[in-house]
Structure 1
Amino acid sequence: MIPAAVVLAGSRGGTDPVASHAGVSDKALIELAGTTMLARVLRALDEAGIVNVAVAANAPGVIAEAEQHGANRLPAAAGPSASTAEALATLGAPLLVTTGDHALLQPKWIRQFLADVPREADVAVLLARREAVEQAAPGSRRTYLRFADGDWSGCNLFLLATPKAEAAVRLWQAVERDRKRPWRIVGRLGPGLLLRYLMGRLSLSEAIAALGRRAGITAAVVECRDGLAAVDVDKPSDLDFVRAYLAGQPTAA
Structure 2
Amino acid sequence: MPWTALLLAGQRPGTDPLAAHFGETWKALVSVNGEPMVSRVARTLLASPSIERVVVLAQDPAALIARPDTEWLANEPRLSFTSSIASISQSVAAVAGELAPWPVLVTTADHVLLTPAMVEEFVGAVGDADVAVALVESENLLGRYPGNKRTWLRFRGGAYSGANLFALTGPRARAALDLWAGVEQDRKKGWKLVAAFGPMLLLRALTRTITLAGGLEAAGQRLGLAARPVVLSQPEAAIDVDKPADHGLAEAILSARS
User: Residues of 2 paired with 1:178 and 1:244: CA distance?
Assistant: 30
* Within-5 A mapping of 1:186-205: 186-205=194-213
Provide the residue aligned with 1:82 in structure 2: 90
Provide the residue aligned with 1:28 in structure 2: 28
Point out 4+ residue stretches in structure 1 off by more than 6 angstroms: 177-184
Distance apart, 1:142 and its partner CA: 1.4
Moved more, 55-64 or 33-42: 55-64
Q: With structure 1 as the length reference, what TM-score do the two structures score? A: 0.89
Residue pair 2:130, 2:225 contacting (<8 A) in 1 also: yes
Distance apart, 1:173 and its partner CA: 1.0
Q: Say yes or no: does 1:58 pair with 2:83.
A: no
| Shift in CA distance, 136/74, structure 1 to aligned 2, threshold 3 Å | farther
Provide the residue aligned with 1:212 in structure 2: 220
Decide which of 95, 98, 117 is 2:104's aligned counterpart.
Answer: 95
Q: Say yes or no: does 1:67 pair with 2:74.
A: yes
- The number of residues matched between the two structures is 248
Amino acid paired to 2:183: V
| Shift in CA distance, 125/187, structure 1 to aligned 2, threshold 3 Å | closer
Distance apart, 1:179 and its partner CA: 6.6
Amino acid paired to 2:29: L
Deviations 1:34-91 (A, max 9, x none): 2111111111111102231110001332254342555201111222111111121431
* Within-5 A mapping of 1:85-124: 85-88=93-96, 89-118=98-127, 120-124=128-132
Which runs of no fewer than 5 residues in structure 2 stay unpaired? none
Which runs of no fewer than 5 residues in structure 1 stay unpaired? none
Distance apart, 1:182 and its partner CA: 8.7
Distance apart, 1:139 and its partner CA: 2.7
Residue pair 1:189, 1:207 contacting (<8 A) in 2 also: no
| Shift in CA distance, 141/198, structure 1 to aligned 2, threshold 3 Å | closer
Distance apart, 1:189 and its partner CA: 3.2
Distance apart, 1:23 and its partner CA: 1.9
Residue pair 1:92, 1:163 contacting (<8 A) in 2 also: no
Distance apart, 1:184 and its partner CA: 6.8
Q: With structure 2 as the length reference, what TM-score do the two structures score? A: 0.88
Question: What percent of counterpart residues are identical?
Answer: 41
Residue pair 1:126, 1:221 contacting (<8 A) in 2 also: yes
Amino acid paired to 2:64: V
CA RMSD of aligned residues (A): 2.3
| Shift in CA distance, 68/76, structure 1 to aligned 2, threshold 3 Å | same
